[in-house]
Amino acid sequence: MMDHMEVFQTLGQNMRVLYDEPMADHTTFRVGGPADLMVIPENVEQLRQAIRLCRDASIPWYVIGNGSNLLVSDKGYRGVVIKICRNMDLIEKEEKGGRLRVRAGAGVLLATLARSVCDDGWTGFEFATGIPGTLGGGITMNAGAYGGEMSQILSGVTVFTAQGAIEEWPADRLELGYRKSRIQKEEAIALEAVMEFEKGDIGQIRETVRSLAAERRKKQPLEYPSAGSTFKRPEGYFAGKLIQDAGLKGYRVGGAQVSEKHSGFVINADHATAADIYQLMRDVGAIVYKKFGVRLEPEVRLLGEF
Ligand SMILES: Cc1cc2nc3c(=O)[nH]c(=O)nc-3n(C[C@H](O)[C@H](O)[C@H](O)COP(=O)(O)OP(=O)(O)OC[C@H]3O[C@@H](n4cnc5c(N)ncnc54)[C@H](O)[C@@H]3O)c2cc1C
C-alpha cells in the first residue's frame, strides 16, 4: 500500500494539486487552516483516480464547491480536499419543444449559470442569481431562496457514488428536502445536472432578478465574509427572528458576530477564527434553546476538528 506522501506525489504528477493549502482562501467565511492536499480535477477520470488512491491508502477526502456553506477548523483538514469550482464546468444548452434543457458540470457557479439562463429569457432560475455557490453545492444542499429551490428545476443528476460507480439519478430519486438531498445522505458526488426551463417574459425576468438582488443588499450583510444563513429554519419559526428575540443581535465571540443587519447570519466581523465562529454558534444555539425551547440546527457544514 502507498503511504500518504507517495499518494500525494502521484496525484501531483497526474493533476493539479496544492500542498498545505489554507482553506481560508477557499471559503466565504475566510477562515480555516491548511488542508494537507487540495486536488482540482479537470474531469471525472481525474476525480475517480484521486478517490481511488485516497481510498486504497485510507486517506480521508472531502469534496467542496465554492466553500460558501462551509466552516473549516483552524487546524485545517488532515486529508485531501477535492475542489470542484470553476473546473468541471461545461455548459450545454438545447432548445426543444419550447423548453430549454441545460446540462452543466458541478463546478459551474450557480449565479453565473442562472444569470445566463435568465438573460436568454427563460424563467425558473431567477431565485439562484444571488447564491454564491456552485451547481454541485447547490444540488447537494438543495439551495433555495425567495420561494425557489433547486428541486423545482432539476430533471436529473449524474453522480459518483460512494461505491465508486457513475449513476444517473432522476429528480425523483434525489430525495430533495429542505437543504438536504440523497447526495448528502449517501456521500455521493454531484458531477453534472440537467435542468429544464420555460420561456418567460424577459422584462419580468429582469425585474425579478433586479429586485431580488436589491432585497439581498438591503437585508443581508454582504459587505462581510459569511456563509449565508448559519442555521436552518426550524419548523414553524425563523432562525433569525428567534436569535433577535433572544437579544443576540450583534452578539460577539472574538472576531465573530451575529450580524446587526440580519440575525440569521453569523459574520466574520474582524479577523475571526473558526473557533470564534463555532463558539458563537454554540452559544446562540444554547441561549435560543433556553429561552424558547427550539433547537437550531446548523445549515453550515463543518469540516475538520472542532
Ligand atoms: C452571502 C451568502 C448568501 C447565501 N444565500 C443563500 C441562499 O439564498 N440560499 C441558499 O440555499 N444558500 C445560500 N447561501 C449558502 C451557499 O451559497 C449554498 O448552500 C450553496 O449551495 C453552497 O454551494 P458551494 O459550492 O459553496 O458548496 P460548499 O460550501 O463548498 O459545500 C457545501 C456542502 O456541499 C457539498 N458539496 C459541494 N459540492 C459538491 C459536489 N459537487 N458533490 C457533492 N457534494 C458537494 C460539500 O461537501 C458540503 O457538504 C449563501 C451563502 C452566502 C455566503
In the chain, which segments carry CATH 3.90.78.10? 221-303
Considering all CA atoms of the chain, what is the largest pairwise distance in Å, rounded to the nearest integer?
60
| C-alpha closest to that of 218 among 226, 210, 230 | 210
Distance (angstroms) between ligand 1 centre and the Cα of 206 equals 24
Give mean pLDDT, residues 16-37.
Answer: 98
Q: Cα dihedral sign for 134, 84, 81, 29?
A: negative
CATH number of 91-206: 3.30.465.10
Give per-residue pLDDT as tens, 122-173.
999 999 999 999 999 999 999 999 999 999 999 999 999 999 999 999 999 9
Distance (angstroms) between ligand 1 centre and the Cα of 110 equals 10
Which residue lies with its CA nearest to atom 21 of ligand 1? 138
CATH number of 221-303: 3.90.78.10
Give per-residue pLDDT as tens, 225-234.
999 999 999 9
Under DSSP, the state recorded for 301 is E
Does ligand 1 come within 6 angstroms of the Cβ of 32? no
Angle at 239 between CA 234 and CA 245, to 5 degrees: 125
Query: Is a pLDDT exceeding 90 seen at residue 35?
Result: yes
107 contacts 134 by C-beta, under 8 angstroms: yes
Which residue lies with its CA nearest to atom 28 of ligand 1? 67
Q: Which fold has domain 4-83?
A: 3.30.43
83 contacts 38 by C-beta, under 8 angstroms: yes
In the chain, which segments carry CATH 3.30.465.10? 91-206
Distance (angstroms) between ligand 1 centre and the Cα of 67 equals 7
Quote the cell numbers at residue 272. Answer: 475571526
Q: How far is CA 254 from the centre of its chain?
A: 25
Query: Is a pLDDT exceeding 80 seen at residue 247?
Result: yes
Does ligand 1 come within 6 angstroms of the Cβ of 107? no
